[in-house]
Amino acid sequence: MANVGYSKKVMEHFMHPRNVGVIENPDGYGKVGNPVCGDVMEIFITVKDDIITDIKFRTFGCGSAIATSSMVTEIAKGKHIDEALKITRGDVASELDGLPAQKMHCSNLAADALHEAIKDYKSKKQQK
Ligand code: FES
């Protein structure tokens, strides 16, 4: 893959993504589709005392989606769910030292799927 316009951090997370996979019976699950390209992202979380203790992602998205999801999982792990809800795609892109402008839409997936997973956790908790 040509390294045109991608930071070293993006390339590193793309080549060695963290927290890839699936959690069976997660406490929260989020799935979002990207309206721009049609790619899909899933995030699974395990939560204990409102802290995200484990997080995994699975995506059919591109390299930027993989890198941003990898970074989102790293930022979110160990955080309180209310703190994790504040993570924005802008935060993720800046942690990765930027993304090419035409790839910013890919970073929506990771942050949005994380937010969906937390909302899912919160709604399940209310039903208990
Ligand atoms: Fe679809 Fe990047 S092109 S997520």
63 found inside a domain: yes
For ligand 1, the distance from its centroid to the CA atom of residue 74, given in whole angstroms, is 20
pLDDT surpassing 70 at residue 91: yes
128 found inside a domain: no
Tally of domains within the chain = 1
Q: pLDDT tens for residues 22-48?
A: 999 999 999 999 888 999 999 999 999
For ligand 1, the distance from its centroid to the CA atom of residue 89, given in whole angstroms, is 14
CA nearest 33: which of 92, 91, 120, 116?
A: 116
Which domain does 45 fall in, by range? 2-123
Mean pLDDT of the chain: 92
For ligand 1, the distance from its centroid to the CA atom of residue 60, given in whole angstroms, is 8
- Cβ 109 under 6 angstroms from ligand 1: yes
pLDDT confidence of 107, banded at 50, 70, 90?
confident
- Cβ 106 under 6 angstroms from ligand 1: yes
Per-residue pLDDT at 3: 52
* Residue position matching structure tokens 């590193």: 12
84 found inside a domain: yes
CA nearest 21: which of 43, 38, 48?
A: 43
Return the ligand 1 atom nearest residue 65 CA.
4
For residue 88, give the CATH number of its domain. Answer: 3.90.1010.10
Instruction: List, by residue number, the catalytic residues.
Output: 37, 106
- Cβ 47 under 6 angstroms from ligand 1: no
Which residue type, as a one-letter code, is found at position 37? C
pLDDT surpassing 90 at residue 90: no
pLDDT surpassing 90 at residue 126: no
Task: Write out the two tokens for 122.
Answer: 């919160």
Per-residue pLDDT at 120: 98
Q: pLDDT tens for residues 42-69?
A: 999 999 999 999 999 999 889 999 999 9
